């Protein structure tokens, strides 16, 4: 069998949380076959025809199975379908706040579109999507045209691909988005989207996007393989991002303003997902065993992009932090890289380190030659590890079998080889030498610390100095703290905020300047610490931070509301409003990151409020597993007391069916 193209007209229904559509597949029968199967999870089918004639079919609940009506050579299959997916297609919010998006990573597109879970079946997807004309609708490929439906307020967006891809890379995103369009240096159309309310954050969120794109085309040596590239953030996305062909979806938490950019950026995720357009989308691993060919490459090329933007010291620092995580995890994470059951850390970060080691051994030019040939030879096909290593052998005498055994087949992490490479960088050599001084008496390293803080060296050196000052008596370290504060470096000053558990009166005014730093993380740490240590100035601190909001998760606003409620005699007439606002943030109207922040603080303030408990129960029905895990763990902890067990039992009758099922499971266990 060889499926060539699919043309689908689909219509999501936000009221029913369902999707229906008309599908036309073109396929070839290459040899005698009994049954054709198209993956389709819990769908209804009708009007099934092959080559224009109605045929019998079987619906297994997992696949549409066809056993008659097709012939050797070219065939056409048409049918209509309807599905109410429990995963992969998500409806977030309501009315003007509605977003609809998909996440098909792996083999899940078959939950919303009859398709193929096998990544080796590649075909050209053309989607037409019918929806309310007041929304923006995105899919894979170029928007061929869009037209208003004459019989209602709907509109149909027609998207068209020209090259084949695996089904897990099909996407759809619908919302009230604003758009900015430009072109890359090579002429590829580039579209970037944001929620309409975030229009003023487009520059900070998408900073360096065109530079990353242009760098990849130079560094990879293969022109971007698709006709367009677009990116869109959505609320409550399951992961950081997803590299759907031509159309990346990423998490709303990466949408930042000028201050937020100093602590959290989309740069690495942006580069990672774009790299996948070559490594994963243009060529796709044959199986999970070779998954590192996608995630390892995307992770490494994202680092190379950051090296281009921020320099060699930054690049080596990122590699060092990866190496630390890998070394720590290797004690329990023993599944090797070339294994479909390897962890994400292994696939992504050990995969990146393996490539860095390889690139250093054969040289950047040979590495680029191997990668370029590899991509050109297998474009729009599926690959395995040996396909790549064969191209390495073609450009060098490097022992790929030994590399494969040590880096890909052995468990653990090659920490000695990693350190050897890191020490080639002068900054990393100095940093590692500084780390080795951790247990030396302060008096023996004081002058070195002073010299480091006075230089213009990369910030992690100064940050490490501050961390090593944590246990030093204040009187001895005060001059160095003052030097560190005067560096004006946000990360170094943030390190001071982290280590100061107690603040002597002599340093209070200095520490208070951290409240003015352009960092939402520093402001959060500083406000909480100052409020705790200086009760006589709590009102001053609260007045100063009254208008703070913070990141997308409202970290500063939620902290402020909590502290305002805990501060005696602070705006007593407004405390009910403060509590109601905090409670509102824990409700289903908001993203999970906001809700989790609010629930954490509310449970600290008033764990007996049944309104809080109701919102906590609702959280265990959320689609985002990280949030539901948090909620379950909180409920399990509360159920250890008879009082809360009674509260939850009393809540049961007022809950919806899904909430009742989940809460009963926790009560029974």
The predicted-structure confidence for 161-198, as pLDDT tens digits, reads as follows: 999 999 999 999 999 999 999 999 999 999 999 999 99
Residues 263 and 331 in one domain: no
Q: State the Cα angle at 645 between 641 and 648, rounded to 5°.
A: 140
Do 148 and 183 lie in one domain? The reply is no
For residues 170 and 182, membership in a common domain is answered with no
Whether the CB-CB separation of 8 and 113 falls below 8 Å is answered with yes
Q: Are 119 and 107 in contact (CB under 8 A)?
A: yes
Provide the token pair at 630: 């948090």
Q: What is the mean pLDDT of the chain?
A: 97
Residue 437: the pLDDT is 97
Beta carbons of 514 and 522 less than 8 angstroms apart: yes
SS3 114: coil
150 has a pLDDT exceeding 90: no
Domain-embedded: residue 433: no
Asked if 58 and 191 sit in the same domain, the reply is: no
How does residue 149 score in pLDDT terms, banded at 50, 70 and 90? confident
Is residue 265 exposed (0-12), middle (13-18) or buried (19+ Cβ within 10 Å)?
middle
Q: Is the domain of 153 the same as that of 192? A: no
Residue 55 in contact with residue 49, Cβ under 8 Å? yes
Task: Quickly state the pLDDT bin for 151 (edges 50, 70, 90).
Answer: low
Q: Does residue 193 share a domain with residue 163?
A: no
Q: Does 199 share its domain with 316?
A: no
Q: Identify whether the C-beta of residue 261 lies closer than 8 Å to the C-beta of residue 204.
A: yes
pLDDT over 90 at 139, yes or no: yes
What's the pLDDT band for 669 if we cut at 50, 70, 90? confident
Question: What does the pLDDT look like over 50-87, one tens digit per residue?
Answer: 999 999 999 999 999 999 999 999 999 999 999 999 99
Radius of gyration of the chain from Cα atoms? Answer: 28
| Neighbouring C-beta atoms of residue 287, cutoff 10 Å | 12
Residue whose entry in the numeric block shows the structure tokens 């350190």: 419
Do 74 and 205 fall into the same domain?
Answer: no
Coil, strand or helix at 181: strand
Residue 513 lies in a domain: no
Residue 375 has pLDDT above 90, yes or no: yes
Q: What is the mean pLDDT of residues 90-98?
A: 96
Nearest to 139 by CA among 27, 21, 9: 9
pLDDT (mean) for 536-548: 98
Instruction: List Cβ neighbours of 646 (8 Å cut-off, separation of 6 or more).
Output: none
Q: Are 27 and 33 in contact (CB under 8 A)?
A: no
Same domain assignment for residues 70 and 181: no
With CA atoms as reference, report the closest residue to 369 among 386, 387, 394, 352.
Answer: 394
What is the pLDDT at residue 148?
76
Answer whether 356's CB lies under 8 Å from 300's CB: yes
Report pLDDT digits (tens) over 607-647: 999 999 999 999 999 999 999 999 999 999 999 999 999 99
Using the structure block, give the residue that is written with the tokens 């590890």: 385
Q: Could you tell me if 105 and 7 lie in one domain?
A: yes
pLDDT digits (tens, 9 = 90+) for 430-482: 999 999 999 999 999 999 999 999 999 999 999 999 999 999 999 999 999 99
- H-state helical runs in 534-591: 538-544, 555-566, 575-585
Dist CA 458 CA 661 (whole Å): 53
The pLDDT of residue 380 is above 90: yes
Residue 194: is it exposed, middle or buried by C-beta count within 10 angstroms (0-12/13-18/19+)? buried
**DSSP assignment of 653-667, as one string?**
GGS-HHHHHHHHHHH
Phi, psi of 523 (to 5 degrees): -60, -40
CB neighbours of residue 128 within 10 Å: 22
- Asked whether residue 32 falls in the same domain as residue 157, the answer is yes
- Of 409, 424, 439, the domain-final residue: 424
CATH number where 114 lies? 2.60.40.1730
Per-residue pLDDT, averaged over 299-304, amounts to 98
CATH number at residue 376: 1.10.390.10
Tell me which of 395, 424, 453 is where a domain ends: 424
User: Is 274 in a helix, a strand, or coil?
Assistant: helix
Query: Which of these three, 175, 203, 237, is where a domain ends?
Result: 175
The DSSP bridge pattern shows strands 247-251 and 229-234 to be parallel
Q: Is residue 152 predicted with pLDDT exceeding 80?
A: no
For helices 459-468 and 490-499, what crossing angle results, to 10°? 10
Residue 493 lies in a domain: no
CA dist., res. 229 & res. 570, Å (int): 51
Position 421 scores a pLDDT of 98
pLDDT category of residue 541 using cuts at 50, 70 and 90: very high
In a domain, 500, yes or no: no
Q: Which domain holds residue 350?
A: 283-424
Considering the domain architecture, whether residues 298 and 417 belong to the same structural domain is answered as: yes
Query: Tens digits of per-residue pLDDT, 479-530?
Result: 999 999 999 999 999 999 999 999 999 999 999 999 999 999 999 999 999 9
pLDDT-derived band of residue 146, with 50, 70 and 90 as boundaries? confident
Assign residue 141 a region (left: φ > 0; alpha: ψ between -120 and 50; beta: otherwise): left
Burial class (CB in 10 A: 0-12, 13-18, 19+), 280: buried
Output the six-digit token pair for 304: 């190379």
Tally of domains in the chain: 4
Cα separation, 571 vs 583, in Å, equals 18
């Amino acid at each position: 069998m060889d499926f060539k193209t699919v043309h689908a007209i689909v219509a999501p229904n936000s009221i029913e949380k369902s999707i229906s559509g008309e599908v036309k597949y073109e396929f070839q029968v290459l040899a005698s076959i009994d049954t054709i199967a198209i993956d389709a999870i819990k769908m209804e089918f009708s009007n099934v025809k092959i080559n224009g004639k109605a045929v019998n079919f079987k619906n297994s609940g997992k696949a549409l199975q066809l056993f008659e009506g097709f012939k050797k050579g070219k065939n056409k299959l048409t049918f209509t379908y309807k599905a109410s997916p429990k995963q992969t297609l998500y409806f977030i919010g309501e009315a003007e706040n509605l977003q609809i998006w998909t996440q098909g990573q792996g083999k899940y597109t078959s939950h919303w579109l009859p398709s193929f879970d096998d990544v080796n079946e590649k075909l050209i997807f053309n989607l037409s999507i019918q929806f309310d004309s007041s929304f923006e609708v995105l899919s894979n490929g170029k928007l061929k045209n869009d037209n208003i439906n004459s019989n209602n307020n709907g509109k149909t967006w027609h998207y068209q691909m020209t090259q084949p891809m695996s089904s897990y890379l099909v996407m759809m995103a619908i919302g009230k988005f604003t758009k900015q369009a430009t072109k890359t240096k090579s002429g590829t159309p580039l579209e970037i989207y944001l929620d309409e309310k975030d229009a003023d954050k487009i520059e900070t969120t998408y900073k360096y996007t065109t530079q990353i794109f242009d760098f990849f085309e130079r560094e990879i040596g293969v022109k971007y393989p698709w006709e367009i590239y677009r990116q869109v953030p959505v609320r409550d996305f399951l992961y950081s991002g997803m590299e759907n062909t031509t159309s990346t979806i990423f998490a709303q938490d990466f949408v930042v303003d000028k201050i937020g950019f100093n602590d959290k950026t989309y740069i690495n995720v942006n580069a990672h997902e774009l790299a996948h357009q070559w490594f994963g989308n243009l060529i796709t691993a044959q199986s999970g065993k070779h998954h590192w060919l996608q995630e390892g490459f995307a992770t490494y090329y994202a680092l190379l992009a950051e090296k281009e933007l921020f320099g060699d010291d930054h690049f080596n620092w990122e590699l060092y932090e990866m190496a630390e995580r890998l070394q720590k995890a290797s004690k329990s994470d023993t599944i090797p890289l070339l294994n479909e059951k390897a962890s994400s850390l292994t696939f992504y970060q050990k995969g990146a380190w393996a490539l860095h080691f390889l690139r250093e051994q054969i040289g950047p030019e040979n590495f680029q030659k191997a990668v370029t040939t590899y991509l050109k030879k297998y474009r729009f096909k599926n690959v395995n590890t040996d396909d790549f290593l064969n191209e390495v052998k073609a450009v060098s005498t490097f022992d790929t079998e030994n590399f494969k055994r040590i880096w890909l087949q052995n468990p653990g992490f090659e920490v000695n080889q990693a350190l050897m490479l890191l020490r080639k960088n002068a900054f990393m050599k100095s940093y590692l030498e500084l780390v080795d001084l951790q247990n030396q008496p302060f008096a023996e390293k004081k002058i070195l610390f002073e010299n480091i803080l006075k230089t213009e060296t990369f910030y992690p050196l100064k940050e490490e100095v501050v961390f090593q000052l944590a246990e030093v008596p204040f009187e001895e370290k005060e001059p160095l703290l003052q030097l560190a504060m005067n560096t004006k470096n946000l990360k170094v000053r943030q390190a001071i905020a982290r280590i100061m558990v107690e603040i002597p009166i002599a340093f209070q005014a200095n520490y208070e300047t951290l409240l003015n730093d352009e960092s939402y993380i520093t402001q959060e740490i500083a406000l909480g610490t100052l409020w705790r240590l200086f009760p006589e100035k709590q009102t001053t601190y609260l007045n100063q931070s009254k208008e703070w909001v913070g990141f997308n998760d409202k970290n500063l606003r939620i902290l402020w509301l909590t502290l305002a409620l805990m501060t005696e005699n602070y705006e007593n007439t407004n405390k009910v409003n403060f509590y109601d606002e905090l409670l509102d943030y824990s409700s289903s109207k908001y993203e999970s990151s906001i809700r989790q922040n609010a629930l954490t603080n509310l449970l600290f303030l008033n764990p007996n409020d049944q309104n809080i408990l109701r919102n906590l129960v609702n959280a265990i029905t959320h689609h985002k597993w990280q949030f539901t895990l948090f909620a379950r763990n909180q409920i399990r902890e509360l159920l250890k007391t008879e009082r809360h067990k009674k509260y939850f039992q009393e809540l049961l009758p007022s809950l919806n069916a899904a909430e009742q099922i989940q809460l009963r499971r926790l009560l029974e266990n």
